[in-house]
Amino acid sequence: MNALLILLPAALALGGLGLAAFMWALKNGQFDDLDGAAERILYDDEPTDTR
Amino acid sequence: MRGDGADELCLLVPDMHCGGCVAEIEKRLAAVPGVASARANLSNRQVAVAFLHGTTDADALIAAVAGAGFEATPYDPAMLASRDDAEEKALLRALAVAGFAAANVMLLSVGVWAGSDMDPATRDLLHWVSALIALPAVAYAGRPFFRAAWQALSARAVTMDVPIALAVLLAAGMSLYETMHGGAHAYFDASVTLLFFLLIGRYLDRQARRKATSAAEKLLLLNASHAMVLDDDGNRRAVPLAEIAVGMKVALAPGDRFPVDGRVVEGRADIDNQLISGETAPHAVQAGDAVHAGTINRNGALVVQVTATGDDTLLGEIGRLVRQAEQARGGYVRLADRLAAVYAPAVHIVAAATFAGWMLAGSDWRQALLAAVAVLIITCPCALGLAVPVVQVVAAGRLFQRGILLKSGDALERLAAVDQVVFDKTGTLTDGQPVLVNADRLSAEDLRLAAALAKHSRHPLARALHGHADGDVPLTDWREEPGRGVRARLEGIEVRLGSRAWSGNADADDIDSGPELWLRRGDAMPLRLRFADRPRGDAAEVVSGLGLPTEILSGDRATVVAKVATALGIGAWRADQRPADKTQRLRELADDGHRVLMIGDGLNDAAALAAAHVSMAPAAAADVSQTSADLIFQGRKLAPVAEALTTARRARALMTQNFGLALAYNLVAVPLAVAGLATPMVAAIAMSSSSLLVTLNALRLRGQA
User: Which residues of B are known catalytic residues?
Assistant: 424
Q: Is the pLDDT of residue B319 over 60?
A: yes
Measure the N-to-C terminal CA separation of chain A; round to a whole number of Å.
Answer: 50
Three-state DSSP state, B436: strand
Instruction: Answer whether residue B98 shows pLDDT above 90.
Output: yes
Tell me the pLDDT band of B1, cut-offs 50, 70 and 90: very low
Instruction: Give the model's pLDDT for residue B356.
Output: 92
Taking the C-alpha atoms of residue B164 and residue B194, their distance in angstroms, rounded to an integer, is 8
Q: Is the pLDDT confidence value at B191 over 50? A: yes
Per-residue pLDDT, B679:
77
Q: How many beta carbons lie within 10 A of that of residue B529, not counting itself?
A: 25
pLDDT at position B340 is: 75
Cross-chain residue pair A32–B43, CB shorter than 8 Å: yes
The length of chain A is: 51
What is the Cα–Cα distance from B304 to B452, expressed in whole angstroms?
Answer: 32
In order, the DSSP letters of chain A are -HHHHHHHHHHHHHHHHHHHHHHHHHHTTTTTTHHHHHHHTT-----S---
Res. B76 pLDDT band, cuts 50 70 90: low
B228 forms beta bridges with B238, B251
Convert B457-487 to b/e letters by CB count within 10 Å (16 or more is b): bebbbbebbeebeeeebebeeeebbbbbbbb
Q: How far apart are CA B663 and CA B661, in angstroms?
A: 5
Please give the average per-residue pLDDT across B494-505, as a whole number: 81
pLDDT higher than 60, residue B479:
yes
Output the pTM of the full model.
Answer: 0.70
Average pLDDT score over chain B: 81
pLDDT band for position B80 (cuts 50, 70, 90) = low
Which residue from B minimizes the CA distance to A44? B23
Of A8, A34, A42, the CB nearest to B129: A8
Is A39 close to B42, i.e. CB distance below 8 A? Answer: yes
> Which residues, including other chains, have CB under 8 Å from residue B233's CB and lie 6 or more apart?
none
pLDDT confidence of residue B220: 44
Q: Is the pLDDT of residue B135 over 80?
A: yes
Structure confidence by residue, pLDDT tens digits, B333-369: 677 777 777 887 888 888 899 999 999 988 888 888 8
CA separation for the pair B421, B508 (Å, rounded): 40
Task: Give the pLDDT score at B661.
Answer: 86
Q: Is the pLDDT of residue B140 over 90?
A: yes
Q: How confident is the model at residue B205 (pLDDT cuts 50, 70, 90)?
A: confident
pLDDT at B197: 86
* pLDDT tens, residue by residue, B534-551: 888 888 888 888 888 999
Residue B674 pLDDT exceeds 80: yes
Give the residue among B404, B641, B640, B638 at the shortest CA–CA distance from B534.
B638
- pLDDT for B221 equals 46
**Is B107–A11 a contact, with Cβ atoms under 8 angstroms apart?**
yes
Nearest CA in chain B to A22: B96
Average pLDDT of span B44-64:
79
pLDDT at A1 over 70: no
The residue type at B176: L
pLDDT tens-digit readout, A9-41: 888 899 899 999 999 988 888 877 777 787 777
pLDDT (0 to 100) of residue B137: 94
pLDDT tens by residue, B556-608: 778 888 888 888 888 889 888 877 888 889 889 988 988 999 998 877 787 88
What are the backbone dihedrals phi and psi of residue B150, each rounded to the nearest 5 degrees, phi first? -60, -45
pLDDT digit string (tens) for B510-521? 555 677 888 888
Q: pLDDT above 90 covers what percent of chain B?
A: 8
Distance, CA of A13 to CA of A15 (rounded, Å): 5
Query: A8 to chain B: which residues are within 8 Å by CB?
Result: 108, 129
Q: How far apart are CA B625 and CA B216, in angstroms?
A: 9
In angstroms, the CA B468 to CA B447 distance is 7
> A48 vs B92: CB contact, 8 Å cut-off?
no
Alpha carbons B425 and B570: distance in angstroms, whole number: 11
- Main-chain dihedrals φ then ψ at residue B412, nearest 5 degrees: -60, -45
The pLDDT value recorded for residue B214 is: 47
Which residue from A23, A36, A47 is facing B96, i.e. has the nearest CB? A23
User: In the prediction, which pLDDT does B97 show?
Assistant: 93
pLDDT at B622: 67
- What pLDDT was estimated at residue B558? 83
CB contacts, 8 Å: B18 with chain A: 39
ipTM > 0.90 (yes/no): no
Nearest to A47 among B27, B93, B104 (CB): B27
Rounded to the nearest 10 degrees, the angle between the axes of helix B365-379 and helix B639-674 is 160
